Structure 1
Amino acid sequence: MIRIGTSGWRYPEWRDDFYRGVPQRLWLSHLAQHVRTIEINSSFYHPQPASNYRKWVAETPPDFVFAVKGPKQITHVQRLRHVEDPLKTFADSLALGTKQGPILWQLPPSLRFDRATIQDFLAALPQGRHALEPRHESFRTDAYFDLLRAHNVAHVVSDAPTFPCIEAVTADFAYLRLHGHDELYISSYDDEQLDEWAGKIRGWDRDTYVYFDNTMHGAAPHNALALAQRLDTPIRSHM
């Protein structure tokens, strides 16, 4: 099972291209007719009420799946330490039902690998699929990979020009974020780059979630469709 989508959907930059002629209130349902998954980003910045999650569920096809970005309060403010209470509050707010996919934990670039901190954080995670995206070179170590494998947590393979791309698969599923290879959040992936990533995804041979985060100039949805075609995955769900 390979699901390919975008990181978020609320982008005014897409208005005159991918969303041409589509009212803003229908942007999510429009995108969800073309991709099989989307990352919810707003949960990173502010707590989202359960009513928002239920609304997004209602606007997407039955076989759709959301990844959810964990709160920055946990990753950036508390830096993974003493997070049992905010973890529970966040988990209790989710109301995605069968449409809930992995929870993404994006770490700040300044956070270095510390075995005890990561071990305690992984042990505190609620049930479900989780993916960890470090942005510091110190995470390129077997000690980190071994911890993830022990908890069946996916290391996020991230392609970007400003932080390391550490290619490792550590769980029974894989998680890939494509932020723009040359310009962060901007540059489009060309045919050669998409072919290369398609080959890597085939080689992982497991459930895989792929999100294009090169959103600022509108490349993300087009790249998602192009990669889906290369991997012969459905590019359109049905309401």
Structure 2
Amino acid sequence: MAQGSVRIGISGWRYEPWRGVFYPEGLVQRRELAYASRMVSSIEINGSFYSLQDPASWREWHDETPDDFVFAVKGPKYITHLRRLKEVRTPLANFFASGLFELKAKLGPILWQLPPMLPFLPERIEAFFELLPRDTEAALALARQHDERVADRASLAIDRKRPLRHALEIRHPSFVDPAFVQLLRRHRIALVVADTAGRWPLLEDLSADFVYLRLHGDAELYASGYGPQALDRWAARIAAWREGRQVDDARLAAPGTRQRAGARDVFAYFDNDVKVHAPYDAAALMRRLGLASALQGPGRPVWPPGWQAPSVRKRAPGFAARRVVAKAAAETPE
């Protein structure tokens, strides 16, 4: 049976409480992405949600990760939360001109997360979908329409024509509507399967040739980890989706409707970073799906093969524990 590819990873990577717990003592901050990208197979870039990044940063992220690595990219909150998807052609152009093309083959799906206060407005949602470029050539044409905000730092070259995928995460109950799923399928946009500890809708309608899963916390948003039973359950769902099947107990907005047949790629990201669960849950889920990860149990950082562990000055007793309960993550979870 044909199967899609599976990528399991984390949302963001620069979190102060992770240092000395997930990241080994002695690892310098500028090497954290290089380290994390050797423990999981994909990472969600969420700095792009808060502000436009520079081409040099995108280039650096490309160069620091393994050749077969893939990033998901979170679209700007200026488009989704501030503009609420209205009159966003120029902000979209600025976003694509800001450096995404520097990722080349490592550019994976683009995540658009809607705010909880934005309801299902069919005409506005469809107008936004129609603006989204479906390959890098179309994205480049759009990027050339940027304004002065990125005029002195635009990246306007692609290495080749590549397909682009888009996923939409919803947080308003009005999206639990068959018309919304029909709209997604017509535009081949993936509906994000978002586990938010019951805070926002969790829907599993399949609407594209890939599935995008975000795991924000099993019982407590952004904070709680996933136990063996929960991980087994998500592994079984991913196994079905990659084969093109739907699970029997799927939570659907459009039950009884036809879905596209065929294998699907699956991208899954853990966003329960507050207590350093995310990387360990990702590694545990990877192992359940037969994917390799060098990461060991919580609080047991390992050095990737071929990396030289630096000599580390001995810390005072209780240092590691203080790391765990340090201030909130530098990248606020969303």
For normalisation by structure 2, the TM-score amounts to 0.70
For 2:31, the equivalent position in structure 1 comes to 26
For 1:149, the equivalent position in structure 2 comes to 185
Q: Aligned to 1:101, which of 99, 103, 108?
A: 108
Unaligned runs of 5+ in 2: 135-163, 243-263, 295-303, 307-334
Q: Say yes or no: does 1:40 pair with 2:45.
A: yes
For 1:49, the equivalent position in structure 2 comes to 54
- The alignment partner of 2:192 has SS state of strand
Give the distance between the partners of 1:233 and 1:147, measured in 2 at CA. 34
For 1:165, the equivalent position in structure 2 comes to 202
For 1:87, the equivalent position in structure 2 comes to 92
For 1:201, the equivalent position in structure 2 comes to 238
Give the distance between the partners of 1:46 and 1:83, measured in 2 at CA. 15
Question: Counterpart of 1:43 in structure 2: which amino acid?
Answer: S
Higher helix share: 1
Q: Aligned to 1:111, which of 104, 115, 118?
A: 118
Give the distance between the partners of 1:235 and 1:15, measured in 2 at CA. 19
Question: What displacement does 1:238 show?
Answer: 8.5
Give the distance between the partners of 1:134 and 1:45, measured in 2 at CA. 18
Q: Say yes or no: does 1:121 pair with 2:179.
A: no
Q: Aligned to 2:270, which of 202, 208, 212?
A: 212
More off after superposition, 20-29 vs 193-202: 20-29
Q: What are the residue-to-residue correspondences of 1:72-83 with 2, within 5 Å?
A: 72-83=77-88
Contact 1:3/1:210 (8 A) holds in 2: yes
Question: Counterpart of 2:191 in structure 1: which amino acid?
Answer: H
Question: What displacement does 1:124 show?
Answer: 0.4
Question: Counterpart of 2:232 in structure 1: which amino acid?
Answer: D
For normalisation by structure 1, the TM-score amounts to 0.97
Q: Aligned to 2:293, which of 227, 235, 238?
A: 235
- The alignment partner of 2:48 has SS state of helix
For 2:166, the equivalent position in structure 1 comes to 130
Give the distance between the partners of 2:6 and 2:305, measured in 1 at CA. 17
Runs of 4 or more consecutive aligned structure 1 residues displaced over 4 Å after TM superposition: 236-239
- The alignment partner of 2:207 has SS state of coil
- The alignment partner of 1:186 has SS state of coil
- The alignment partner of 1:104 has SS state of strand
- The alignment partner of 2:44 has SS state of strand
CA displacement, residues 108-158 of structure 1 (integer Å, 9 cap, x when unaligned): 001100110111000000221000000111111111111111111100000
Q: Say yes or no: does 1:8 pair with 2:12.
A: yes
Unaligned runs of 5+ in 1: none
Question: Counterpart of 1:193 in structure 2: which amino acid?
Answer: A
Give the distance between the partners of 1:70 and 1:34, measured in 2 at CA. 24
Question: What displacement does 1:91 show?
Answer: 1.2
Question: What displacement does 1:16 show?
Answer: 2.1
Give the distance between the partners of 1:204 and 1:140, measured in 2 at CA. 20
Give the distance between the partners of 1:78 and 1:235, measured in 2 at CA. 40
Give the distance between the partners of 1:30 and 1:185, measured in 2 at CA. 22
Higher strand share: 1
Question: What displacement does 1:170 show?
Answer: 0.7
Contact 1:91/1:126 (8 A) holds in 2: no
Sequence identity (%)? 50
